[in-house]
Structure 1
Amino acid sequence: MKKLFISAFAVMLALGIAACGTGQSGAYPKTPKEVAQRFMEFYTAGDDAAADYVLFDGRNLLELAMTADAARTKTFPEELAKQKERGPVKVECISERITTDEENGNPNLEVAYVECRVGDRTEYLMLVPVDGLWKVDITVKWAGEWFDGM
């Protein structure tokens, strides 16, 4: 009985250490709002972990003249470097709306729109489900920022 107790305790301790070892990220968030919150925290800090929450083949890649590989290996790391220079800011995602993407001609595609307060500005993110996980379509954010300056 004593060996069983020690074995059970060792397993529980190992699981506890493994859970702590996942650091800040922990388990993948379940809701679009939670994903957006975690993404924006990592993104505004310039942390590479933000990539875990990104859809790298979003709908605007063609308009941005970018491939999924270039977005993943070049553009996104460059954006993170810019964010890191600015330093982290307070992030609070305040609302989410889950709907279909009818306005873009995709009535069968579920999407989520999340509103976040990032420092003194408001950011709107679009997320789509990929293999059961919500992912941020960063190309929507890029397109908005890049085309605003044109």
Structure 2
Amino acid sequence: MKLGFASWPLSDCDVFLLNTANQIDPSWRTNPEVVSKKPFWLEKLKTGVEEEKRDALAFLGMAGGDDVVQPILDAMNGPDFRYRFDECIRALGHCSSPLAVQPVMDSFDKAGKNAGRVRAALKEMTGQDFGTDKQKWVDWWAQNKGRHGL
């Protein structure tokens, strides 16, 4: 099965996760097939062509886990991040790892017109909404880091 411009075969699991990117079910994160695909998608994020990297970001965000945070941050901060900033922030929001909260807050500084995406990712991760006011997010995080599973 092929998806979008991708030129490699995707499993039914891959297609399902990529097509349901806004309907996250945390039980997917422990599904053996999802877990077994992480190394493949982590490699595509590093070495794939642009379409593969975008699909990798979508899959890794859905798969979640602390282990995907740093590779997504590396992609976001890489030389061609401007093409993927929005996708990286979205993936970090979806993965809902406490390790992603501070870096996502810090990304307000370079978000520009994508500040709303940063806000949405933080809201998804924390359940809070302080708009695009970075200082309010920082203050809240200083008081709540480590609480409520964050």
State if a TM-score over 0.5 links the two structures: no
Structure with greater helix share of residues = 2
Structure with greater strand share of residues = 1
TM-score, normalising length: structure 1? 0.27
Q: Which structure is larger by alpha-carbon Rg, 1 or 2? A: 1
The answer to which structure, 1 or 2, has the higher relative contact order (CA under 8 A, 6+ apart) is 1
